[in-house]
Structure 1
Amino acid sequence: MKLLKYLFVIIIVPNILIGQKSWTLQQCVDRALEMNISIKQSKLNYAGSEIEKQGAIGNFLPNINIGSSHSWNVGLNQNITTGLLENVTTQFSSMNLNMNLNIYSGLQNVKRLHRANLSILASQYQLEDMSENVALLVANSYLQILFSKESLAVQELQLDITLKELKRIKELVDAGVVPKGDLYEIEANLASQEKNLVDAKNSYYLSKIALAQLLLIDDYENFEIANESYDIPISDVMNRTPQEIFSYAVSNKKEIKIFETNVEIAKKDLEISKALLKPSLSAFYSYSSRIGYSDRLVPTDEIGYAPIGVVEGTGERVIAPYTKMGIANPLSFSRQFDLNAGQNFGLSLSIPILNNLSRRSNVNQTKVNILRSENSLLQKKLDLENTVNQSFNDAKGAFKAYEASQKLVDARELAFQYAQNKFEVGVMNSFDFTQAKQRYELAQSELIRTKYDYIFKLKVLEFYFGVPITVK
């Protein structure tokens, strides 16, 4: 039994503690940056750009290929030994080395390398921009949980107050001090409070699910954020003008740099397309050899005589000596390789004259792409300026709404305390007391809503001014 208890402690308890981990905002952001699928895709795009650069560097190197073949000639073939057509099987091997080097092609390789570097830069900006947007999205979901959590606490507090008032009103009704109608009013209010509490719990649970899904966490039930309180932050960004914030954003935000880099890529594409209109010069070299495996004819030491003609007039044959030939085994592989080797090298010049206007059309198309990229950049800057102005006004308006809600809560709290005192001494009926309590509850809920609405809108504004994502 003691052993079972010990195993329970060392195995079960740590798992429970892990499941009950409380996540801070920074931990949530770190988790999202590690697990988010869009960020993983951006990382793959960056890796692809690195591979593209490797290919651009490889264009400066020569093309070198080695080939070989081995063939059989079967059936009726000429016997290279006797020169006769025979049904024989012969074998041959051949080997070759080919090399081609681009010497000049309008500096295409240099321009392609520059373009590859720009693609890497664009992919890096895309990854950083995606990371910033994911961090902002996590902060929004995190704040939504905080809002739901505080709203739930308000509902629990109001329900507790209602339960206490219900207990007291029952005592007064039993004593005949107040009519039963007051009890019915409190009970109706209790039912409404219980419904509001259920709604608040559902909202809190759904907000946790939303963040957990964003972090790719399956254990929704045990997912909790850190139990910390967050007050209205003091930020210097509200002392800035929208123009100052926009100037910083347009110079530093990665979403703008992506479009700026795309313009540079389009310009580099134009340079590459123009280079295709220029002559190209390349050098080539090839080396080959051939190996045979058939017997060969070789001279022997024997001298033979053969007629080569007749003497005019006498008809006497003219005989001349010749060296008799014999059949020998084929030469060794290395010997044949050296004897049969051949080389070919030279320069190749290509001057484009007419290519169905495809190259000229490509130049014109890249010019259009530059204009498109420049227009997209201009539109992005206009959108950014509008977003910054809108975010500034939203944050400013949200702060004023929060200040107004704070004043309203203070006033409603005093009114509720006054109504509670009157209700306890029997001067106010339960209906009027319930109304005062509900107005105080609504004011508290509105204060929480405006608080987190301002915090998030402030975070958005800080986002464009380069302030790190925090909610403390």
Structure 2
Amino acid sequence: MSKQLVIVLHGLIFLLFLPFLLKAQDTATAGLPAQWTLQQCFDYAMKNNIQLNSLRLSRLSAEQDLLLSRAAKLPNLNGTATQNINGGKSVGAGGGTGTYEITPSGTYGVNSNVTLYQGGYLNYDIKQKSLQTQVAGLNVATQMNDITVLITQAYLNILLAGENIVYVKDVVATSEAQVKQGQQQYDVGTIALIGLVQLQAQLSNDRYLLTTAQNQYRQNKLVLKQLLQLPSSYDFEIVSPDTLMSSTHLYALQEVQDSALANRPEVKSSELGVAVSSFNLAKAKTGYLPTLTAGGGLGSSYNGGSGNSSYFKQLDNNFYQQIGLTLSLPIFTRRVVKTNVEKAKLEVDQSKLTLKDTRTNLSQTIEQAYINVLNAQAQYDAAVEQLKYSQEGYRIATEQLKVGAANIVVFLQQKNLYIQALQSYIQAKYNAALNIRIYDFYRGTPVKL
């Protein structure tokens, strides 16, 4: 088969399946909005995030373990039925071989047992499984908090890049007008060729900045798409708020730390972890205690050999009932119980260290967030002032350039200072907005724009 024919066949196959591929894409993106608010991002992620759903399944599994633990206090019930067919020749009274006979037989029964006492093991196990179910739920809440912070950061980064594009486009448009004016001035001999070349180089640099800003915008959108786990073929935009208001009140560090230590799910999970390990120690100690179980059974049997009574008569005659108690007392366990107890004690100590580490890390994280807010606010105030003066300097240099009273090198220096100040201002504004929201989030304030 020729290479051209293979290419044609592949093209026909692609065209044949194209409608199905497009339909599959439409199905995957059906119902998704064209524009997303921050709250919509939160709601979608909380419902569809794979890590979250995996933790939810773990919580459901923990609930099943709890139900199983509770059911261990109930008696069980087992039924058995055995049916046999035996074949063989009988032996006569004189030692001769008799006729071949087939003899049916069977046994039937039910039995049950229940644990009456096991040193409190079953009760400890129920309480432990209940706490583990709560821990699984707190793990879900912790993951939700982590996703909330990541989505907020990604969303604000998109807004930052989008606003940067708007400003850089304005700078490019101004540069294009300046190059056009410079060309006219060069044509009439008002400026030298080097001046025109410098203006053209500045325009190329501004266009490069615009391309970089657009690439960053696309990259930030991809980060948010990955966090939301949206289909790769789906394109979307985010809703820009009218104003990016930030809280003007900065809560005291100690107040936020106390609130977080009392309410954050990771802290509660670690606290419950200590209780879980304590119950594990209590369960291990029950190995020193006796176990008392009660059991009973009903059963009957029959044998269909010659000379035996009827089937139902045999079942009635062979019917038996049994009930009893069993006491099991550990005397020598080859250190099994002692080892379990000692390891459980180590587990308690480890869980206490984990709790201390969780509290310490959270306190330090909040302190760092507090410092970030102070730094971001200071940077924002400085950026506002820097932008104010650089913008004025750029305006004056532009007016001087129009009338031919400005040196082009000085003008370009003022313009670059303005661009740097503008980008610093945008970065500082969104950095301040992000850090104050993260800091307030540790206190329990929902994230809003």
Q: Does TM, scored on the shorter chain, surpass 0.5? A: yes
| Matches for 1:211-290 after TM superposition, within 5 Å | 211-219=224-232, 222-236=235-249, 238=250, 240-290=251-301
Report what 2:348 is aligned to: 370
User: Partner of 1:228: helix, strand, or coil?
Assistant: coil
Deviation at 1:437, TM superposition (A): 1.1
- Which of 393, 403, 419 is the aligned partner of 1:441? 419
Q: Distance in 1 between matches of 2:377 and 2:359?
A: 27
Deviations 1:372-410 (A, max 9, x none): 111111121111111111110111111100110010000
Aligned to 2:144: 131
Give the structure 2 partner of residue 53 of structure 1: 66
Answer yes or no: is the 8 Å Cα contact 1:138–1:214 preserved in 2.
Answer: yes
Q: 1:460 aligns with which of 435, 438, 444?
A: 438
- Is residue 342 from structure 1 mapped to residue 320 from structure 2 by the alignment? yes
| 8 A contact 1:77–1:85 mirrored in 2 | yes
Consecutive unaligned residues of structure 2, counting only runs of 5 or more, are: 1-22
State the percentage of identical aligned residues. 24
Instruction: Find the counterpart in structure 1 of residue 124 from structure 2.
Output: 111
1:29 paired with 2:42, answer: yes
Matches within 5 A, 1:385-424: 385-424=363-402
Query: Match of 2:326, SS?
Result: strand
How far residue 83 of structure 1 moved from its aligned partner, in angstroms, is 12
* One-letter amino acid of the structure 1 residue matched with residue 260 of structure 2: A
Alignment partners' CA distance in 2, 1:391 and 1:19: 34
The 1-side partners of 2:353 and 2:131 are apart by 19
Please report how far the alpha carbon of residue 153 of structure 1 lies from its aligned counterpart in structure 2 after TM superposition.
Answer: 1.4
Which residue number in structure 1 is paired with residue 174 of structure 2? 161
The Cα offsets for residues 345-396 of structure 1, whole Å up to 9 and x where unpaired, read as: 1111111111111011111111111111111111211111111111101111
Q: Which one-letter code corresponds to 1:253 in the other structure?
A: R
Q: 1: distance between equivalents of 2:336 and 2:111?
A: 30
Cα displacement (A) at 1:129: 0.9
One-letter code aligned to 2:156: L
Structure whose residues are more often strand by fraction? 1
Q: Does the alignment pair 1:426 with 2:404?
A: yes
Question: Is 1:294 equivalent to 2:305 in the alignment?
Answer: yes
Measured in 1, the distance between the counterparts of 2:348 and 2:365 equals: 25
Quote how far apart the aligned CAs of 1:20 are. Answer: 6.8
In structure 2, the residue corresponding to 1:75 is in which secondary structure? strand
Q: Distance in 2 between matches of 1:202 and 1:235?
A: 33
How many Å separate the matches in 2 of 1:371 and 1:350? 31
1:42 deviates by 1.0
Matched residue of 2:288: which SS? coil
Query: How many residues of Structure 1 are paired with residues of Structure 2 in the alignment?
Result: 422
> Deviations 1:304-363 (Å, cap 9, x if unpaired)?
xxxxxxxxxxxxxxxxxxxxxxxxxx514x433222211111111111111111011111
* 1:108-142: CA deviation from partner (whole Å, max 9, x where unpaired): 11111111110111111111111111111111111
Quote how far apart the aligned CAs of 1:29 are. Answer: 0.9
Shift of 1:457: 1.5
SS at match of 1:344: strand
CA distance in 1, matches of 2:66, 2:229: 33
Corresponding residue for 1:191? 204
Distance (whole Å) between structure 1 residues aligned to residue 123 and residue 361 of structure 2: 35
For 2:211, the aligned partner's letter is: V
SS in 2 for 1:49: helix
> In 2, Cα distance between the equivalents of 1:169 and 1:141?
41
RMSD: 2.2
Q: 2-side partners of 1:340 and 1:150: how far apart?
A: 91
CA contact (8 A) 2:114 2:293 kept: yes
1 CA distance for matches of 2:151 and 2:404? 51
Which deviates the most, 280-289 or 67-76?
67-76
The structure with more radius of gyration? 1
In structure 2, relative to structure 1, the CA distance for the partners of 1:282 and 1:18 (3 Å cut) is: closer
1:331 alignment counterpart = 310
**Aligned partners of 1:115, 1:249: CA distance in 2, in Å?**
25
Q: Is the 8 A contact 1:70 1:92 kept in 2?
A: yes
Q: Over residues 59-113 of structure 1, what are the superposed CA-to-partner deviations in whole Å (9 max), with x where a residue is unaligned?
A: 111121001111122335679xx99876422111211111101111112111111
TM-score (norm 2): 0.89
Q: Structure 1 pair 271/77, CA: closer, same or farther in 2 (3 Å)?
A: farther
Change (3 A) 1:182 1:458: same
Higher helix share: 2
Q: CA deviation at 1:228?
A: 2.8
Distance in 2 between the 1:438 and 1:19 partners?
Answer: 42
Residues 247 and 436, structure 2, Cα contact 8 Å, conserved in 1: no
Q: Go from structure 1 to structure 2 and tell me whether the alpha carbon gap of 1:205 and 1:74 turns closer, same or farther (over 3 Å shift).
A: same
Pick closer, same or farther for the CA change 1:444–1:75 going to 2, 3 Å: same
Q: Which residue of 1 aligns with 2:4?
A: none
Unaligned runs of 5+ in 1: 1-10, 298-329
Quickly say closer, same or farther: Cα 1:19–1:65, change in 2 above 3 A: closer
**What does the per-residue CA deviation read over 1:248-269, in whole Å, with 9 as the maximum and x for residues that have no partner?**
1111111111110000001111
2:135 aligned residue: 122
Does the aligned pair in 2 maintain the 1:232–1:451 contact within 8 Å? no
CA distance in 2, matches of 1:84, 1:446: 111
- 1:158 Cα offset (Å): 0.6
How far apart are 1:235 and its partner, in Å? Answer: 4.3
Runs of 4+ in 1 over 4 A off after TM superposition: 14-20, 76-79, 82-86
Query: How far apart are residue 207 of structure 1 and its match?
Result: 0.6
Partner of 2:20 in structure 1? none
SS state of the match for residue 40, structure 2? helix
CA deviations on 1:177-202 (whole Å, 9 max, x unpaired) are 22222211111111111111111111
